[in-house]
Amino acid sequence: MRHLHRKETIHSLPFCTNCGNQVDPGASFCPNCGHAIQQSTASPTVAASVTAPSSLLEINDIVVKKKIISIREHYDFEDMSGNKVGEGDGNFFQFPAKFEVFDKDNAALMRIQGKLISFRNQFTFLDSENKEIGTIKKKLIKLIGDEYWIEQNGVETTRIYGNYTEHDYRMEINKQVVATVHKKWIALRDTFGISITGSIDHRLVLGAVIAIEHQEVEEQKHNR
């Protein structure tokens, strides 16, 4: 009888519909992910099964952890609950640089192929069937600094600007912000967040982040 009573008490606690984390009664926001709380008596296990992401391409808030592993440049992608949802891999000795992005089940999602143009790299994004989905390029804007943009079928679709070395920049389509890179959630070095807030192919965002991170690090090395 005590066991049953304890089980009912646990299930009666409100939980976050975004990450499944239990919260204190009366809480307005989840302390784990900051999502607004809607009071419910449903089981957190049920909530987790409904909201658990099935693919890296289906979640809008992504934690990126960069690692240097031997000769590889590696990225782990996690959701807001710390669950790994994908990864990206590149090799330092490949020239121009190449990367591959996989989902949590190690299925290939895209490739990122570098190309040296006028002493600056540009990167082409290819889907799992090797079809081009976009290209990211970098240009110098006088008095402003560097700026990246994404082209699709030869047409500029997305502008990317901000402070790249500090992981503080945004992506815009028709002057509307569709994604941001930031450190709002994280204080750890080489860890930052991606928030996708508009209509844009997740693969373009992930590809752009990896390409920018790689390019900025390489340019810092060259400048030193």
- Output the six-digit token pair for 70: 């031997």
Instruction: Give the residue, 125 or 187, on which the prediction is more confident.
Output: 125
148-168 residue pLDDT tens: 999 999 999 999 999 998 999
- Output the six-digit token pair for 46: 């049920």
Q: Given its phi and psi angles, is residue 183 left (phi above 0), alpha (psi -120 to 50 degrees) or beta?
A: alpha
Instruction: Give the residue, 183 or 221, on which the prediction is more confident.
Output: 183
Cβ atoms of 179 and 170 within 8 Å: the answer is yes
- Output the six-digit token pair for 186: 């994280």
Asked whether residue 49 carries a pLDDT value surpassing 60, the answer given is no
Domain ranges of the chain: 2-51, 56-223
Asked whether residue 44 carries a pLDDT value surpassing 90, the answer given is no
Give me the pLDDT at residue 190, please.
86
- CATH fold of 56-223: Porin (2.40.160)
Asked whether residue 6 carries a pLDDT value surpassing 50, the answer given is no
Average pLDDT over residues 49-72: 78
Burial pattern 4-31, b for ≥16 Cβ within 10 A else e, equals eeeeeeeeeebbbbbbbbbbeeeeeebe
Give me the pLDDT at residue 5, please.
41
Cβ atoms of 147 and 139 within 8 Å: the answer is yes
Model pTM greater than 0.85? no
Which residue in 9, 21, 166, 146 sits closest to 80, CA to CA? 21
Asked whether residue 15 carries a pLDDT value surpassing 70, the answer given is no
- Output the six-digit token pair for 92: 């330092």
* pLDDT confidence band for 71 (50 / 70 / 90): confident
DSSP string across 159-219: EEEEETTTTEEEEEETTEEEEEEE-SS--STTEEEEEE-SS--HHHHHHHHHHHHHHHHHH
Give me the pLDDT at residue 7, please.
37
